[in-house]
């Protein structure tokens, strides 16, 4: 039997304003914060304190514009279905009551709404997102194809996310804590099973030395070709080794292992530059921009200052990007 999807989008499930909610015929009430509690099945488990503090400052100044969505419980309290971040920030801001849309949901819809809200707003880390997909499959018997249709994701995106759950606990923790990006994790997953004993060593190299996603992918390919992480320096510095794609990896490994130093040039995004290595957060942003624009994107600099370069390859491509960016 085909399973129904929510199919209405976030705007109908979670109105943008109190006025929108009332125009849709929803019941909106001012509810005491003490009567609200988070959904224990909410996919998002971690909230960054600095982001909560920023939102709390905005709420203290302007109030809560978008109401929280909650479900009445038999004990007189209300379980949050969508908007837990606003609820937490409102508490920090010192609010006593907040506007809440009250309605009933099936268990299936609760989990789907939590996933949709966080995925579309890019609030979940890659592990939380994968665990959310797995919960839909385990609890409701969905296939990967059904999950992809319900959440508007490609089948391959669902499959790749679920593969992250096969990584060792330490690596999953690193993704959750944003010590490495989802792109780095995919590079680790590309290491063949017969070389899986080197996963931990490659993870340590990525995390400690700030390897870019591209370099991590190249290192994984070299491991699959028979190189060992400990022996990369010797292999890369051996005479007669091919140049080309491996050259920047050769230079970085030589630098990290005490070989020839890399000369810092004008590229302020290079891991060996004077401006420091690109953080996992910047790699995640770069990957998101690449997916959004469908073009090559380079973020150069730091989280404090830098520039974004978007590549185009024809007049039509330039116009496409121009229209895309202006429409956004």
Instruction: Say if residues 137 and 108 touch (Cβ distance below 8 Å).
Output: no
Instruction: Give φ, ψ of 165 to 5 degrees.
Output: -70, -10
Dmax (CA) of the chain: 75
Rg (CA), the chain: 23
Catalytic residue among 16, 30, 84, 287: 84
Rounded Cα distance between 110 and 217, Å, is: 37
**Is the dihedral angle over the CA atoms 98, 102, 107, 113 positive or is it negative?**
negative
Closest CA to 289 of 242, 326, 319, 321: 321
**Edge-to-edge strands, sheet with 36-38:** 28-32, 97-102, 68-72, 78-82, 36-38
| Bridging pattern class, strands 68-72 and 297-301 | unpaired
128 flagged as catalytic: no
Catalytic residue numbers? 84
């Amino acid at each position: 039997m085909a399973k129904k999807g929510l199919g209405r989008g976030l705007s109908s499930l979670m109105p943008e304003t109190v006025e929108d909610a009332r125009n849709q015929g929803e019941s909106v009430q001012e509810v005491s914060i003490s009567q609200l509690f988070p959904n224990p099945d909410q996919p998002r488990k971690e909230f960054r304190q600095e982001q909560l503090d920023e939102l709390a400052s905005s709420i203290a100044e302007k109030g809560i514009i978008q109401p929280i969505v909650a479900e009445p419980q038999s004990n007189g309290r209300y379980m949050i279905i969508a908007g837990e971040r606003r609820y937490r920030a409102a508490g920090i801001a010192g609010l006593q009551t907040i506007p809440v849309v009250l309605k009933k949901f099936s268990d299936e819809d609760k989990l789907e709404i939590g996933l949709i809200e966080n995925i579309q707003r890019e609030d979940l880390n890659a592990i939380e997102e994968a665990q959310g997909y797995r919960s839909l499959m385990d609890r409701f018997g969905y296939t990967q194809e059904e999950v992809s249709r319900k959440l508007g994701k490609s089948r391959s995106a669902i499959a790749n996310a679920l593969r992250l759950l096969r990584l060792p606990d330490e690596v999953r923790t690193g993704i959750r804590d944003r010590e490495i990006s989802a792109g780095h994790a995919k590079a680790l997953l590309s290491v063949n099973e017969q070389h899986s004993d080197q996963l931990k060593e490659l993870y340590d190299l990525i995390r400690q030395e700030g390897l870019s996603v591209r370099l991590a992918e190249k290192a994984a390919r070299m491991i699959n070709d028979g190189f060992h992480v400990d022996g990369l320096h010797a292999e890369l510095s051996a005479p007669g080794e091919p140049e080309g794609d491996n050259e920047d990896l050769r230079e970085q490994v030589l630098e990290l292992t005490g070989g020839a130093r890399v000369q810092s040039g004008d590229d302020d995004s290079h891991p060996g530059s004077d401006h420091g290595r690109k953080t996992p957060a910047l790699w995640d942003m770069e990957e998101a921009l690449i997916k959004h624009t469908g073009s090559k994107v380079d973020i150069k600099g730091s989280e404090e200052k830098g520039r974004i370069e978007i590549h185009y390859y024809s007049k039509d491509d330039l116009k496409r990007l121009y229209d895309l960016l202006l429409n956004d």
